[in-house]
Every structure is written in C-alpha cells, then in structure tokens.
Amino acid sequence: MGLQRGVAIIGAGMTRFHHKIHADKTGRDLFVEAALEAMASVDNGIELRDIEALFIGNFSSDSFEHQGHVAALMADWLGLTPRAATRIEAACGSSGAALNIGVMAIASGLYDVVMVGGVEKMRTLTTEEVTDVLAMASDEVYEAAVGFTFPGLYAAMATAHFHRYGSTWEQLCAVSIKNHHNGSLNPKAQFQEEVIDIARRLGERRGMTFKDEMEFLRSPLNPVVAYPLRLFDCCPISDGAAAVIMASEEVARRFTDTPIYVRGIGQASDTMALHDREDLTSIRATRLAAQQAYRMAGLGPEDIDVADVHDCFTIAEVVATEDLGFFPKGEGGKAAEEGRTSLEGDKPINPDGGLKAKGHPVGATGAAMAYEMFKQLRGEADKRQVRDAEVGLIHNVGASGATVVVQIYGR
C-alpha cells in the first residue's frame, strides 16, 4: 500500500539537546523554542493559522515533570488552539510514531499542513530516578522485576551478538568514537567533543594520560554500566525538543521550492520482553518496518545515502545497520570499525552524532532525526554534511525493540 497522496516536510527546528543548559526551562518552553524554529525555517514563510493539527511524541512528562496531557498544553502555549492536538507515546519511539501519524493524517486528505514534534524534559530527576522511569518501557512484571534495566537489555543483546557472530566490544567503541566525532560538528549536539579530547580533559584532572581513545575507553574513567556496555556505549540523559512541519504535496510548493518528500513509511511492534523475541541478536520490528518503507519507496538499502539510526547504545547501532540491510548480519561491527559508517564512508550513519553524542531526550528523538534528514537532503548540514545526499532514512526504536518506526525521505 502506498500513500493516497504525497507528503513533504517543509520546515524543521530543534533545541540543542543538553543535560545542563535547559535547567531553567520546562518541557513547554523547549517545545515552543523548537516549534518556532521550525516555523522560521519555512522558506516562504508560514503562519500559525496554517497549521491544522499537532501531533506530539512524549514518553513520560508525567513522571519527569508531573505534567500529563502535553499535546493540548503545547497547542495552548503555541497559540494553536482550537486545533486538534494529540500525544503519541511509544517510549523512545514516541515522536517517530507521531511522524507516521502525521504522514497518515495528511495522506488521508483530512489536513494539508500539520506540525509533528517531540519533547522530553528528563533532567528534573536524578540518574537513578531516570533509570527507573526508562525501565517502565520494558516489561515490568517479567523483566524489570528480576533486575533488568534498559542498558541491561541492550547489554544482553550484545552478549548474544558477540557469541553468535564474534563481534567485539572494540567494534562498539568505533561507533562511539565516530558518533562523538560527528557530534563535534553539530551545534545542536549535547556533546561536541571528540572522545580523545574528552580523554585528555578528564585525564588531566586526575593526572592520567592516555595514548589513544581505546586506552581511555578501557580505563576506570569509562565505568561499566551493564556489562559489556560502559558509559561511552550509552546515550546520555537529555532535555530537548524537535519539530517538523509537514504538508501535502499539492500545497508544499507554496511554502518552499525545496520540500523533502516522504517516500516511504513503516512501523512494526514486537513482544515487550526481549526474552520472547525469536532472535536476540536482531530486532525483528526493524526488519519489518524497513521492508514496508522500502517497498513503499520502491527503494532498497543500497539506495540510502545517509541514515539516522537509533543508537541508544552502541550495540543498537550495529544491530540496526544490519537489520536495515546496510550490512550483512553479523558484520555491522566490522563495518563501523572499518569506517564505512563515518561521514566519508560508503554508508554514513548518524551524521548528527546520533543519540550517543547529540543526546536523547527520548520523546524528541524521532522528530530530531527527521530534522537532521531535512537538513542533510537540502544540503544545509554544514560541517557534518554528507556529500550528494539525496535519499535519507530514519529509524526510531521504542525501548528494546517492541516499537520501531522507519521513514525514508527524498528530494
């Protein structure tokens, strides 16, 4: 099945993702900032009254800010009332799911222009409390109750992947080093620093020197979070928001000469508990969502010039690049190690720094991926621009893979 009519992104905005600088802002402040930037990015201008509906991805403002019903809140604060405003929750895949619903809302013919965004204000809680909230996205009864944490589930996938394919933790480090490099080129990223520079900075403070990244990553300055994953295998806790404006193909050209078209969308679910999955080294929902999106777009993995994949943990990027068909199963780690996923590689992955370095305010991540593709495919990604990028893909995952959304865009 294809879309009943074409849909394009005509504008995109996001706050910087960060763990400190937004301390004095609430979720609503962050979303308004992202939404206004998205409005201002529309080449020929757009008015609030042009936006007919709002779809907001948000995981847990209830726990983080004691604030529910955030879609109506954002509509209110943006001056969008009485337009329809709906919150979509799919854990870390919330705004990815919102993007799909935004596309469907336009493709159905109901609306011509909608805003889709995501927001999460997480730094209101301590790391331990955030760990508790994120664990709610796993199966409380059968996983969290025996002691699994969110990093723990991906760590378990890593042990299974290492065992079956002989992939290594050193290969995971290549993902982290690459994403920090890309983050260093992205003014919106939480961490804009190479791993080697972080090693020097932290080492100086403690009178330690490291001959290279790997010596630092093996040191106690990179503590184990959930074996085999260490701190630099994990995305940070972040505050932030992102928003895109979508329009039907018919009206998109009124707003810009360079819309970015949605070529394909896909979404799939899987068992909540990781232990129930048919394969612990692969995320089936990724494979199925990608199949749908590729089929709709009439494209294959070989046609993707640039992709933002859900690297909540380094192993997640390795598994995603295999499940999306970029590399054969079991060879994602090797590809990262060989530099094939770097900005200059044959399959650039996470040019914005990924969740690892750009940050991961969970409900905002899918929308921020769409933001990045909007910039990349329009050639506006400055220092992190992938050369000649014409087709881009985003891959947004809820929790350990019980929800996956894939979208493919083209110029």
Partner 1 sequence: MFTVKDYRDALAEGYLLASKCRRCGAVQLPPRPICPRCGSGDLESLKAPKRGRVAAYTVIHVPPSRFKGEEPYAVAIVELLEGVRVSGRMLDVSEADLRVGLEVEADVIKLGEEPLLCFRPLKRP
Which sign does the torsion angle of CA 225, 226, 231, 237 carry? Answer: negative
Nearer to partner 1, 311 or 352 (CB): 311
Cβ neighbour number for residue 182 with a 10 Å cutoff: 25
Distance separating alpha carbons of residues 392 and 79, to the nearest angstrom: 32
Q: Quick one: which of 49, 69, 201, 275 contacts partner 1 (CB under 8 A)?
A: 275
Q: Quick one: DSSP state of residue 37?
A: H
Q: Which of 22, 180, 181, 360 is catalytic?
A: 360
Could you tell me how many residues of this chain bind partner 1 (CB under 8 A)? 38
Q: How far from 251 is each of 53, 130, 254, CA to CA, in Å?
A: 15, 42, 5
Q: How far from 118 is each of 24, 57, 285, 380, CA to CA, in Å?
A: 19, 4, 21, 22
Catalytic-residue membership of 234:
no
Structure token pair of residue 167? 């992939």
Q: How far is the CB of 152 from partner 1 (least distance, A)?
A: 5
Q: How far is the CB of 372 from partner 1 (least distance, A)?
A: 29
Does residue 280 bind partner 1 (CB under 8 A)?
Answer: yes
Does residue 144 bind partner 1 (CB under 8 A)?
Answer: yes
Q: Quick one: which of 99, 135, 175, 373 contacts partner 1 (CB under 8 A)?
A: 135
Nearer to partner 1, 40 or 141 (CB): 141
Does residue 137 bind partner 1 (CB under 8 A)?
Answer: no
SS3 155: helix
Question: Starting from the edge strand earliest in sequence, which strands make up the sheet with 113-121, in order?
Answer: 84-88, 53-57, 113-121, 239-248, 7-14, 260-269, 403-410, 391-398, 306-308
Closest alpha carbon to 310 in 350, 357, 367, 342: 350
Nearer to partner 1, 129 or 170 (CB): 129
Per the CB < 8 A criterion, the answer to whether 238 and 122 are in contact is yes
Within residues 215-234, the interface with partner 1 by CB under 8 A covers: 223-229
Q: How far is the CB of 153 from partner 1 (least distance, A)?
A: 8
Peptide bond into 348 cis (omega under 30): no
Q: Which of 22, 92, 161, 312 is catalytic?
A: 92
Within residues 114-133, the interface with partner 1 by CB under 8 A covers: 127-129, 131-132
Catalytic-residue membership of 312:
no
Does residue 143 bind partner 1 (CB under 8 A)?
Answer: yes
Does residue 390 bind partner 1 (CB under 8 A)?
Answer: no
Nearer to partner 1, 152 or 359 (CB): 152
SS3 57: strand
* Binding pattern for the stretch 146-175 against partner 1, x by CB under 8 A and - elsewhere: xxxx-xxx-xxx-xx--x------------
| Active-site residue list | 92, 360
Residues that bind partner 1 (CB under 8 A): 127-129, 131-132, 135, 141-149, 151-153, 155-157, 159-160, 163, 223-229, 271, 273-276, 278, 280
